[in-house]
Structure 1
């Protein structure tokens, strides 16, 4: 008579100290001093810095970029990234370099080539772009490099991405992550070659306007179950490379919608704060969540309404309480 052997469930990865981060907005002009100390005072220990490459057409392979162009915003240039890193590291704030592609009239998730020839060219161009920034990350000793953000229609091409990852690892020895959109993370074909699973966590967690905290917490149930399934499969910790909510009544329904498309939505810093609280009472407690970066944080303070920034609002109070008291 044979014996039934039950396979043990994989042990989920866990982390000891979480990254408590924000997506740092590169400023037009050099920092005046004190901006990063103010961030450290709310308990943050990490920032992501975002330089840009530019793609004029989402269906054409040309990409242009410059590490230090004259007309580039200071905070997005190599010199600004370097100065910001120097100031932040002195305060115990770690840096992730997270280059983005700006697709004119679209967004990175729509970048898709129409022929195999163009796909080859696009990946050649993208490899040159990201390796340039990998060299900068190596020079500045950044612990984490994000190799791509929301490139949803490219991630099925595993062989091309493996070549990019190999080229990056030749010049950069830190940890690698890819920032997958919340609609994309289950379809990425190369998680096994990275050090973290990265998710742009703009999951819808509530319907309509003015959802209460219990509704928002329930809204995390299905996304967390899907993420945990992926974690068990790949045995990798997760970082929310972005998460954020506008200060509007409908912020939880479609968190990804840009502020300029919310002009008709009533302002509500209460809903924004509830969304933050729901995150900290659910996702933040998961042992496999290695960190979070909240979109977004202006060096000079919050600048408009509506906006994603929690600065000066009730959401900042929620952020501060949790960053200062939760390990």
Structure 2
């Protein structure tokens, strides 16, 4: 006989609408963790699930840093949420800028070994630059930095490199972030993952909200995991689109440089005003990301790989913008 659940003040009559979500979801997301553990070759105790990777980032800062006292390290240009989480929690930010080719500086491990920061965030493949950080540099930091080393692998499914989840047992201070928003195509679900030593995962579970992953999200994530065989073909199609854009964009007169990418986007430097290009693309109904204000990204826009039709439309629009620039120069 099924238990009579009268403890949580839920609506015992059911839900308004077509689905039944009248009961609170599993606060430990055990079914998803079991499937993910098999897929990733880790233990369920190594897995934390968050409302997007952003929740894991925020909780890691709150777990390790005392407000008004401690600091984190970021490596600009990089994902902005690390700094947002620090600011929200009154935690100072120490910046270790990447080199002009968007790698960690040669003395990064030495500088971090002397730092009193509690966390360093290493985004690899990096956003907005798209490239993997050199594994040897990350490993040296893992061996010398005293705090937690967070490797954000949101775009790792588009890169030809092993995940740092394969090294969790070797490095107890390693945290690996992944997400269902990119390769899995589930950005609207807001489901992120942190992989770490069981003791650290246990702390994250203690400070998270009780029901941080909704029942609907859990159901849809389980359905996606059951269809994981679709993932390789989606990856392959996006990589074909990335390769095509990487080949075609440099042929455009207004494009100065296309940076190598291990992600599902390309960072592109223009030899004309990039903000003007951004505005002109918007006027043509194409929205990209303006990264001109980021360190090392002057004149750059970040272009997500779209469908074949979207990629063709982007190239056509950039060709038109370039033609207008040529006419303007001739007129002046």
TM-score using structure 2 length: 0.32
Based on CA coordinates, which of the two structures has the bigger radius of gyration?
2
Larger relative contact order (Cα-Cα within 8 Å, sequence gap ≥ 6): 1
TM-score using structure 1 length: 0.32
